[in-house]
Amino acid sequence: MIIWDFDGTLLPLAPYDSEHTLMLHKLGDTSPRPPYLVRAIARLLIEADRRQMLSNTFKQFYIRLMKGTPLNLLDQVSRRLSDSISTQDRQTIRHLNSENYRMMVLSCGTADLSESVLKMAGLGDCFESIAGNRFNIENGRINGMTLHIAEPADKVIWLTKMGISAERAVAVGDGYTDIPMLDWAETAVLVDRSGKKRKRYKGKNYRIISSISEIIDVLDLDVV
């Protein structure tokens, strides 16, 4: 079983994750635009979240900001985000699927976005499940969120409840929200596209890759 994180792992940060991108789209491209103060606070919280600060405050604000948003905004943002998944990365995921690896996505982010982006990238059928936090929908609009995986440690709790064995798991992530899951799995793979994380996690027993396609070498598969 290969357990993938989404933001920063399957979806490269460019430089924002999927929730940041959705917020920025809401702030700049919807009508009527939120008040100036709301937009200013949102941008400050996005930058704080990118620096791994105020995560709970960010999530609370994110949920409040997205209330009342029509669902079609998710499709617009998902289409844009799916373009950032490279052809090589898509081929790698499809190859793993063809080799009968079981795969799932496990994220502290918004599962609705992860699901939509992967579907638009032509990868939706490669994953058995996509778990994360999901929007509550009422009359075609977002009306809140149910937090299934609010904290990094919740990933391990979720995996344990699902009866997934750490000894047969390959966990793939890119940063601090993935550390409990990476430490839990028999095989832990850290995606470090920038080359800046190797020193930070030097003491961890992680396999470090700079691109998704390098997972093939970790699993010792031949590319066809």
**Residue type at 203 in one-letter notation:** G
Residue 22, domain extent: 18-79
What is the arithmetic mean of pLDDT over 71-93?
95
Q: Is the pTM of this model over 0.85?
A: yes
pLDDT of residue 46: 94
Statement to judge: residues 49 and 75 lie in one domain: yes
Q: How many domains does the chain have?
A: 2
Residue 50 shares a structural domain with residue 114: no
What is the per-residue pLDDT for 186? 93
List of E strands, 113-154: 129-138, 141-146
Chain segment 1-19, per-residue pLDDT in tens: 999 999 999 999 989 999 9
Query: Radius of gyration over alpha carbons of the chain, in Å?
Result: 17
Residue 90: pLDDT over 50: yes
Average pLDDT of the residues in 162-167: 94
117: left (phi over 0), alpha (psi -120 to 50) or beta: alpha
In a domain, 6, yes or no: yes
What is the pLDDT at residue 221?
62
Distance CA 168, CA 190 (A): 17
Query: Average pLDDT of 120-140?
Result: 97
State whether 42 and 97 are in the same domain.
Answer: no
Q: How far is it, in rounded angstroms, from Cα 5 to Cα 105?
A: 6
CATH number of domain containing 131: 3.40.50.1000
Assess contact for 21 and 7: CB atoms under 8 A: no
